[in-house]
Amino acid sequence: MDVLLLGASGRIGRRVAAELLDRGHSVTGVSRSGTVEGIDDEAFVAVAGDATDPDQIARLAAGHDAVASALGPGEDDSPEVLTEMIEAVIEGLRRAEVDRLVWTGGAGGLRVGPDTRLVETEEFPDEWEPLARAAIDAYGILEGADDLRWTYVAPAALIEPGERTGEYRTAERELVADEDGDSYISMEDFAVALVDELESGDGVGSYVGTGY
């Protein structure tokens, strides 16, 4: 596949790029500066683009089979920029006539009980709440894009650089936790999950939680 990867310079994005390239896909990696450090592969091209601008997304996405996102707010941005980004990306894909989008979302909107989402629990750190709420709002916008084959893939509650084991579990709209109640995934295995979803399309139209 020819994949446009938004957020390719980010912590998760660089691992998604590596996973795509390992599996033989071609990747156009977008960051605002047009540079992506640490990836040296002839099937990879780094380009500059602003993910809040639908015209730029349309131009960049044209001719690709799919778009993957590991976008997050820049250092000087408020969390709400995520909703601006998802609106621009949806609009850009429509204009470019690309209908497949796999989006790295947040775990905050995943259910931990019948009527409770992770963000609503007492243990959820206050400092993460604005980003979690913005990611939930972004999901609400994506959910309405029924002309796209989208999947919103969320990490576990905790995601950090780690090992690529190739093993993980998924659950639709539910937080994935182990038997001790810990919800964790390495960034490398999250990239595996995201690329598996991109290739299979099993989760089209759904909010997929990942973890061990």
Ligand X SMILES: NC(=O)c1ccc[n+]([C@@H]2O[C@H](COP(=O)([O-])OP(=O)(O)OC[C@H]3O[C@@H](n4cnc5c(N)ncnc54)[C@H](OP(=O)(O)O)[C@@H]3O)[C@@H](O)[C@H]2O)c1
**Under the rule (CB under 6 A), what is the footprint of ligand X?**
7-13, 30-33, 49-52, 70-72, 74, 104, 106-107, 131, 135, 154-155, 157, 159
CB of 9 to ligand X, least distance (A): 4
CB of 82 to ligand X, least distance (A): 6
CA trace torsion 83, 205, 111, 200 (10° rounding): -110
- Distance in angstroms (rounded) separating the CA atoms of residues 69 and 67: 7
Of 200, 91, 121, 96, nearest to 153 by C-alpha is 200
Residue, CB closest to ligand X? 10
CB of 51 to ligand X, least distance (A): 3
CB of 7 to ligand X, least distance (A): 4
With 0-12 / 13-18 / 19 or more C-beta atoms within 10 angstroms meaning exposed / middle / buried, residue 73 is middle
CB of 150 to ligand X, least distance (A): 15
Which parts of 97-186 fold into alpha helices (H)? 129-143
3-state secondary structure of 75: coil
Residue nearer to ligand X on the CB measure, 92 or 147 = 92
Angle 86-78-184 (CA atoms, 0-180°, nearest 5)? Answer: 75
Residue nearer to ligand X on the CB measure, 14 or 147 = 14
Residue nearer to ligand X on the CB measure, 135 or 176 = 135
Residue nearer to ligand X on the CB measure, 74 or 113 = 74
With 0-12 / 13-18 / 19 or more C-beta atoms within 10 angstroms meaning exposed / middle / buried, residue 4 is buried
Residue nearer to ligand X on the CB measure, 131 or 148 = 131
